[in-house]
A = this chain, B = another copy of it.
C-alpha cells in the first residue's frame, strides 16, 4: 500500500469560476505506481469548493445562478461588517459546498460517469491562485 501526495496549482477568476481538473488527476493516477485505490482531492482555503459536474457552459452558468439565488452576494454579512473583505457570501457558499471529494479508481481509471468532471469552484470575489492537494491511497 502506498500514499502519494501531489499539489495541483491553478489560477482562477473568482466569482464562481469553475475549473475542470479531471485530466490532471487522471494523469497523476496514470503516472503513479498505484492501480487501485482512492483519490482524495482537497482544496486549501475557505472560499472555494470541490465537486463534480457535467462541464459545459450551460451548467457552469446554471450552477452560478443557483448560488446567487440561494446565497446572494448582496446581503448584509456579519463577516463583511467585521473584516471588510466583501466576501462573506464566498465563505458561506464554500462551507456549504465542502472542500473535499474522494473518487475511487480501479485499474488506474477513476469510476466517474462519462459526463462527470471534477471541478474546483472558486467562490471568492477576486482572482486567486489556488493549491489543490491530490492524495492517492492504494496498491
Contacts and interface: CB of A to CB of B under 8 A. Distances in A.
B44 A116 contact: yes
B42 A138 contact: no
A78 B57 CA distance: 8
Q: Number of contact residues on A: which range applies?
A: 35 or more
Copies in the complex: 3
Contacts of A5: 36, 104, 106
Contacts of A102: 40, 42, 100, 102
Contacts of A115: 45-46
A15 B2 CA distance: 41
A70 interface: yes
Contacts of A103: 42, 100
